[in-house]
Amino acid sequence: MTADPHSGAEPVLDAIATTRAIRRYTADPIPDEDLSRILFAATRAPSGSNRQSFRFLVLRDGPNAADAKAILGEAFRAGWSAKRSDDGYGAGSGADPDSPKARTGRAMQHFVDHFEETPVVVLACMVGRKGHLTDGGSVYPACQNLLLAARALGYGGVMTMWHAPVEDQLRELLAIPDDVFVMATIPLGIPQGNHGPVRRRPVGELVFDDAWESGAAWATEPPGTRHTSAGPRSRS
Amino acid sequence: MTADPHSGAEPVLDAIATTRAIRRYTADPIPDEDLSRILFAATRAPSGSNRQSFRFLVLRDGPNAADAKAILGEAFRAGWSAKRSDDGYGAGSGADPDSPKARTGRAMQHFVDHFEETPVVVLACMVGRKGHLTDGGSVYPACQNLLLAARALGYGGVMTMWHAPVEDQLRELLAIPDDVFVMATIPLGIPQGNHGPVRRRPVGELVFDDAWESGAAWATEPPGTRHTSAGPRSRS
């Protein structure tokens, strides 16, 4: 018996390979119908015992949205400012304005400077925290569904954690209960610029067969796959 | 400006909506080429600062695989035995052999009884644990990519956590370093039976607009969407 591939296997694999972080958006809103499909896709994700402990709080242009985006914008600017300094974005190769590091730095600055203009911001929340390392297994698959569906429909976004220092402010503003946790903040919009293949380490560094760091000879990459250097990108 | 949908948007959204937990597999192996594509898709996922803290240890038929599957099989049988009792699978509606609860119970029993025969078992691991609630945000998006790619190519699997009690045994057998954590165990194979739309709560219970539990009027579901009852499935 052989597997029976989905009739649209290639578009699925292509979407997965080209869903990269998008941090620059046009000013256009996301139409209700598309936003609905994106959020529906998110909720199709698996979760522990199918308990569906994910919740999505969507910020657009309602009474709270501008305030929430302003709180987040401040936090994102502070987060980027700390990271830029800690990770030395202006030093080393970053001193060359044409380096990838410098380009990333400019993109990040633009992202946080314009955060309040983001058309849609989704707070991915978790109810029923158990305090296990694996808790996120019931929320982050849904976040990835959301990003893939957005990409399929022509939108882009990025999963961020810079809401953490202002989580209590958001909780108060948005009436989020104390036992609910904001697991990710996901801005969404129409990309300025392109999607395109993501850049990762060589698969041989990430996929092992039968034992830790034992190479998987069968694990190959499509021609033209682009790589990051080993180690954290921000320290490269 | 309007969004520019991916040429294969519908297959992507369809794959997301029909990737459900698959726990019965044929005895057939997964060909190298397909397994490679599935794992490549996993590694395309986002992670914090693109640090790619996910690693995938694949168990097929190498020297360690049978031992690892046996260790996992014992743990899965113990896990299911505890859950069956705790969640009262034989009681209430589960006493009726035709009830969804009883069917789920039989499927789970078959799954754990035949665990050792699973063609491929993937241990999704995390390096660089920080001890944050959001740590899983760097691993579980990759697990969802893996499951979606498997579904696209005609395979099925399920994300499970029942390895936890035997994580140290696996670490020793497979030479996994102490500071690496097994975040999920994902069995994969050709499904016996069908994929099909997943069953979740109504979207109105999961998606809010502008404030917690504030209904999102724009969030709708496709006709024919099937629902779980509110609350944990295993307690229904």
pLDDT at A230: 53
Domain-located, residue A8:
no
Asked whether residue B165 falls in the same domain as residue B216, the answer is no
Q: Determine contact, residues B35/A26, Cβ cutoff 8 Å.
A: no
CATH code for position A134: 3.40.109.10
Domain-located, residue B164:
yes
* Cα distance between residue B119 and residue B62, in whole Å: 12
Residues of chain A above pLDDT 90, percent: 80
For A57-67, what is each residue's pLDDT tens digit?
999 999 999 99
pLDDT band at A95 (very low <50, low <70, confident <90, very high): confident
Q: What region does A227 belong to: left with phi over 0, alpha with psi -120 to 50, or beta?
A: beta
> What average pLDDT does range B113-134 have in this prediction?
95
Residues 92-111 of B with CB under 8 A from A: none
Residues 51-70 of A with CB under 8 A from B: 51-52, 54-60, 62-65
pLDDT of A235 > 50? The answer is: no
Asked whether residue B165 falls in the same domain as residue B208, the answer is no
Asked whether residue B155 falls in the same domain as residue B173, the answer is yes
Instruction: Give the 3-state secondary structure of chain B.
Output: CCCCCCCCHHHHHHHHHHCCCCCCECCCCCCHHHHHHHHHHHHCCCCHHHCCCEEEEEECCCCCHHHHHHHHHHHHHHHHHHHHHHCCCCCHHHHCCCCHHHHHHHHHHHHHHCHHHCCEEEEEEECCCCCCCCHHHHCHHHHHHHHHHHHHCCCEECCECCCHHHHHHHHHHHCCCCCCEEEEEEEEECECCCCCCCCECCHHHCEEECCCCCECCCCCCCCCCCECCCCCHHHC
> What average pLDDT does range A72-97 have in this prediction?
92
For B56-77, what is each residue's pLDDT tens digit?
999 999 999 999 999 999 999 9
**Token reading at A235:** 């320290």
pLDDT at A233: 41
- ipTM of this predicted structure: 0.95
Domain-located, residue B233:
no
Asked whether residue B44 falls in the same domain as residue B69, the answer is yes
Domain-located, residue A80:
yes
For B4-28, what is each residue's pLDDT tens digit?
887 789 999 999 999 999 999 999 9
Asked whether residue B103 falls in the same domain as residue B211, the answer is no
pLDDT of A72 > 50? The answer is: yes
For A187-225, what is each residue's pLDDT tens digit?
999 999 876 778 999 999 999 999 999 999 999 999 999
Helix or strand run (H / E) with residue A59: strand A54-59
Residue A220 carries which side chain, given as an amino acid letter?
T
Asked whether residue B45 falls in the same domain as residue B119, the answer is yes
The parent domain of residue B204 ranges over 200-228
pLDDT at B233: 41
> Structural domain tally of chain B?
2
Asked whether residue A86 falls in the same domain as residue A103, the answer is yes
Residues 68-97 of B with CB under 8 A from A: 83, 87
Pick the range with the lowest mean pLDDT from A40-54, A81-95, A180-194, B18-32.
A81-95
With an 8 Å Cβ cutoff, are A11 and B16 in contact? Answer: no
> What average pLDDT does range B106-135 have in this prediction?
95
Asked whether residue A134 falls in the same domain as residue A95, the answer is yes
pLDDT of B186 > 80? The answer is: yes
Q: What is chain B's mean pLDDT, rounded?
A: 93
pLDDT of B235 > 60? The answer is: no
Asked whether residue B158 falls in the same domain as residue B218, the answer is no
Domain-located, residue B112:
yes
> What average pLDDT does range A14-41 have in this prediction?
96
Asked whether residue A105 falls in the same domain as residue A206, the answer is no
pLDDT at A39: 98
Domain-located, residue A94:
yes
Instruction: Please indicate, yes or no, whether the overall pTM of this predicted structure exceeds 0.90.
Output: yes
Task: Give the chain B residue whose CA is nearest to the CA of A63.
Answer: B210
pLDDT at B209: 97
Task: Give the chain B residue whose CA is nearest to the CA of A155.
Answer: B3
Asked whether residue A223 falls in the same domain as residue A144, the answer is no
pLDDT at A6: 77
Task: Give the chain B residue whose CA is nearest to the CA of A12.
Answer: B12
Residues 144-183 of B with CB under 8 A from A: 144-145, 147-149, 151-155, 158-159, 161, 164, 174-177, 180-181, 183
Task: Supply angle C-alpha A78, A84, A85, rounded to 5.
Answer: 95
Asked whether residue A219 falls in the same domain as residue A133, the answer is no
With an 8 Å Cβ cutoff, are B212 and A153 in contact? Answer: no
